[in-house]
Amino acid sequence: MLGLNKKDFLLLLIVTMLTMLAPFVLNPFPEGSALAQFNAGYPDLMQRFVIFGIFAIGFNILFGLTGYLSFGHAAFLGVGSYAAIWMMKLLTMNVIPAIIVAVVVAGLFSVVVGFISLRRSGIYFSILTLAFAMMSYQLAYSVLTPITGGETGLQPKVNDPRLLDSALVDGATPTANLFGLSMRSSYELEIGSWLFTFNAGYYVAAVVMLLSFYLAIRIFRSPFGMMLRAVKSNQNRMKYTGLNPKPYTLAAFVISGMYAGLAGGLMVAMDSQVGPERMFWTASGEVVLMTILGGVGTLIGPVLGAGAIKYMENIISKINTEILHSWFSFLPDGLEDLIVNLTYPFIGKGWHLTLGIVFMLVVIFLPGGLVEGAQRIAGLIRRKDKSGGMPPASAKAEPAE
């Protein structure tokens, strides 16, 4: 169906279900309970999950298929974001032109960077992409301040021109919208003590993510995808058969750059603001981490990795001592303090430490990332069942490097 084989279609279906029902899936704990801290079903984080999912899917098309490790992908996301915000300032607050222009501009930029960087391979390629991204960051922060707003970045202002929009009603702030539907508008549903938020922006981003995911599956399964894998496994053999790997790699690079631009455009659409630190090398490193953490070269892995990292960043960092004390208040005082003190270095301001430890554990014990973890668990269950059965959707993915 949809040009996919049965397994892929099933995977797409599961991902579709999960993204559409995310407000429920991510909010399993009732409001006001101690565990509500771990709920992730609020618009901002849900939007980030799918946006960084897109970013990681695109990155995986380059890294997972061709093996070229770009260390400067955040630059395309940043350039896309700047393009999108300028569309919002000059043309209209409608997100469609912003997103399209973001993809186009990021694509053009990646043609230039890719054309130059792909003249080298291996770590030399990585350093070239890193150099381009860091140059973009440094310039955006300083010399290009008139275009980028420097450190403070850009936001839509009340007195921007916005040629296509009718004048704002006095007192209104410019709001990103889709033909009038504000990206911020939410519908809240309360069932018992559970609260579920359905956010317009999230669903726009989620639909875009599903389309990109579908496109990624098609690329993975296409002859073009096969060519890209050939680039990874043996470029020389490919050359001997009379094929020039360069156009294929460049195409993959540009496609993944456009994915990054799409993610950048969507970020602006969801939260209309851009700052240069979006292009810093740690941001590029983050998408590498997401992809490897989830499972390189697998379809669903990068999305899982993106989710895991954003979850830690947004949930773990918000736990403070007060909350810890309230969790362990049932314990005797001395024990409570001891446990709080032992836990404290890993939460709140210590979330980086937790992140570092998780990376190390995953890389040491699960070289294939979270997807391999899922496969192993599935394998265990299957051995118990003793029947072959159908492998779970995520397990059919490509083997990781």
Partner 1 sequence: MIDLKMNRRGLMKGAAAVGVGLSAPQFFVRGANAFTNEPTGSSVTLGFNVPQTGPYADEGADELRAYELAVEHLNGGGDGGMLATFSSKTLEGNGIFGKKVEYVTGDTQTKSDAARASARSMIEKDGAVMITGGSSSGVAVAVQALCQEAGVIFMAGLTHSNDTTGKDRKANGFRHFFNSYMSGAALAPVLSKAYGTDRKAYHLTADYNWGYTTEQAVRESTEAMGWETVNAVKTPLTQTDFSSYIAPVLQSGADVLVLNHYGGNMVNSLTNAVQFGLRAAQANGKNFEIVVPLYSRLMARGAGSNVAGIYGSTNWHWSLQDEASKAFVKSFGTKYGFPPSQAAHTCYVQTLLYADAVNRAGSFNPCAVGEALEGFEFDGLGNGPTLYRAEDHQCFKDVLVVRGKENPENEFDLLEVVEVTPVSQVMYSPDHPQMGGAEATLGTCNPGA
Partner 2 sequence: MEVYIQQMVNGLDKGSAYALIALGLTLIFGTLGVVNFAHGALFMIGAFCAVTLSRILTFSHEVVDETRTDFLGNPLKVDVPYIYDIFGEATGSVIIDWAVPLSILFAIPVMIAIGVIMERGLIRHFYKRAHADQILVTFGLAIVLQEIIKYFYGANPIQTPMPDAFEGVFDIGAIIGFGTGEILYPYWRLIYFGFAMVIVAAVFAFLQFTTFGMVVRAGMADRETVGLLGIDIDKRFTLMFGIAAAVAGLAGVMYAPIVSPNYHMGMDFLVLSFVVVVVGGMGSLPGAVLAGFLLGILESLASLQEVVALVPGINQVIIYLVAIIILLTRPRGLMGRKGVMED
- Which residues are near partner 1 by CB under 8 A? 39, 42-45, 48, 138, 141-142, 145, 150-153, 155, 158-159, 166, 168-173, 175, 177, 179-182, 184-191, 195, 197, 267, 271-273, 275, 277-278, 313-314, 317-318, 320, 322, 348-349, 351-352
CB 363 within 8 A of CB 337: no
Using CB distances below 5 to 8 A depending on partner kind, what does residue 152 bind out of partner 1, partner 2, none? Answer: partner 1
Long-range contacts (CB closer than 8 Å, 24 or more residues apart) made by 190-197: 192/30, 193/30, 193/31, 193/32, 193/33, 194/27, 194/30, 194/31, 195/27, 195/31, 196/23, 196/24, 196/27, 196/41, 197/23, 197/27, 197/41, 197/42, 197/43
Q: Which residue has the tokens 């001592």?
A: 321
Side-chain half-sphere of 143: how many Cα atoms within 13 Å? 5
Backbone torsions φ then ψ of 185, nearest 5 degrees: -70, 140
9's tokens: 């279609």
The contact mask relative to partner 2 for 83-122 (x = CB under 8 A, - = no) is ---------------------------------x--xxxx
Residue 222 lies near partner 2 (rule: CB under 8 A): no
Nearer to partner 1, 41 or 58 (CB): 41
Helix (H) or strand (E) holding 233: helix 223-233
Residue 123 lies near partner 2 (rule: CB under 8 A): yes
Q: How far is the CB of 347 from partner 1 (least distance, A)?
A: 10
Nearer to partner 1, 108 or 139 (CB): 139
Sign of CA dihedral 46, 47, 53, 56: negative
How many residues interact with partner 2 (rule CB under 8 A)?
45
Residue 360 lies near partner 2 (rule: CB under 8 A): yes
Q: How far is the CB of 142 from partner 1 (least distance, A)?
A: 4
What is the separation, in whole angstroms, between the first and last Cα of the chain?
29
Q: What is the DSSP letter of 330?
A: T
Site for partner 2 in 235-254 (CB under 8 A): 235
Nearer to partner 2, 274 or 288 (CB): 288
Residue 127 burial (C-beta neighbours within 10 Å; 0-12, 13-18, 19+): middle
Q: How far is the CB of 286 from partner 1 (least distance, A)?
A: 11
Nearer to partner 2, 135 or 158 (CB): 135
Nearer to partner 2, 82 or 214 (CB): 82
Nearer to partner 1, 141 or 248 (CB): 141
